[in-house]
A and B are shown apart, each in its own frame.
Chain A
Amino acid sequence: SYALTQPPSVSVAPGKTATITCGEDNIATKTVHWYQQKPGQAPVVVIYYDTDRPSGIPERFSGSNSGNTATLTISRVEAGDEADYFCQVWDSSSDRRVFGGGTKLTVL
């Protein structure tokens, strides 16, 4: 089924920067949202409209979207950032909401 392309896993040491990508042809023409999901919990949005951060989400979380890749960047990674991250777009050509396959972020 149709899904955006994400790396299955990303590992990073505490204090370093984590980069999670979300790929699709011309994804820059779409609006991308990013969700964080910790074990046993519902997803929570961490970035919406490509770059906007909801209140309560640390400034360490940022997003970008260009060409064929959208990117979630987490600076100064902390142990509490360990979670699954999903990107999501609305595909207006088929009127459906599409998620990426998810990326498991491991903090070493």
Chain B
Amino acid sequence: QVQLRESGPGLVKPSGTLSLTCAVSGASISSHNWWAWVRQSPGKGLEWIGEIYPSGNALYNPSLKGRVSISVDKSNDHFSLKLYSVTAADTALYFCARVASSGTVGWLDPWGQGTLVTVSS
């Protein structure tokens, strides 16, 4: 059974960098799947941040205007998110998820439980 778990600081200062890691268990991150980050602002909908293939090829949401970077660590079966120059608008529940089936047209399953990140001084 594949499980994902997010970890990282719950509080980030404005203009700082948000850094999160997603640990994958029950499967190898080197499998032929994409791995995604999604966030949800309090009381709002889901926003796709980006996703990465084990080769390191990454795709990002254009709305984040180049502030985002996703990397993969195949030796430790985890992938990471960095979001730079954060503001209060980046306060959200951050989820990681696997893209089921090969290719990016697949659905997200499973998801991690999510981790809340607050941007505040």
Interface status of A14 (Cβ within 8 A of chain B): no
A-B contact count (CB 8 A): 60
In the bound complex, residues from chain B placing their C-beta under 8 Å from that of A100 are 45
How far is it, in angstroms, between the C-alpha of A63 and the C-alpha of B46 when the chains are bound? 20
Task: Report Cα–Cα, A31/B100, bound state, in Å.
Answer: 13
A102 part of interface (Cβ distance < 8 Å): yes
| Interchain CB contact (< 8 A) of A98 among B48, B51, B109, B114 | B48
Interface centre among B59, B60, B107 (most CB of A within 10 A): B107
Residues in A whose Cβ lies below 8 Å from that of B47: 1, 99
CB-CB under 8 A from B109, the residues of chain A are 44-45, 48, 54
Interface contact A96-B113, CB-CB below 8 Å? no
Docked Cα-Cα span, A15 to B109, in Å, equals 29
B:84-100 near A, CB below 8 Å: 95, 100
Judged by a CB distance under 8 angstroms, whether B31 is at the interface is no
**Residues 84-104 of chain A, each 1 if its beta carbon lies under 8 Å from chain B, else 0:** 001010101011111111100
CA distance A94 to B72 in the complex (A): 23
Q: Which of B45, B109, B110, B112 has most chain A Cβ within 10 Å? A: B45
CB pair B105–A42 under 8 Å, yes or no, is: no
CB distance from B60 to the nearest CB of A (A): 8
Q: B45 to A102, Cβ gap below 8 A?
A: yes
Using known A-B contacts A1-B63, A96-B59, A97-B51, determine if residue A45 contacts B45 with beta carbons closer than 8 Å: no
- Shortest Cβ distance from A94 into B: residue: B62
Docked pose: A101 CA to B114 CA in angstroms: 19
Q: Given contacts A42-B95, A42-B113, A101-B45, is CB(A95)–CB(B108) below 8 Å?
A: no
Determine the residue in chain B with the shortest Cβ distance to A47: B107
Please give the residue numbers on chain B whose beta carbons come within 8 Å of chain A beta carbons, in ascending order. 36, 45-48, 51, 59-63, 95, 100, 104-114
List 6 A-B residue pairs with CB atoms under 8 Å apart, sorted by A's residue number.
A1-B63, A86-B46, A88-B108, A90-B104, A96-B59, A96-B60
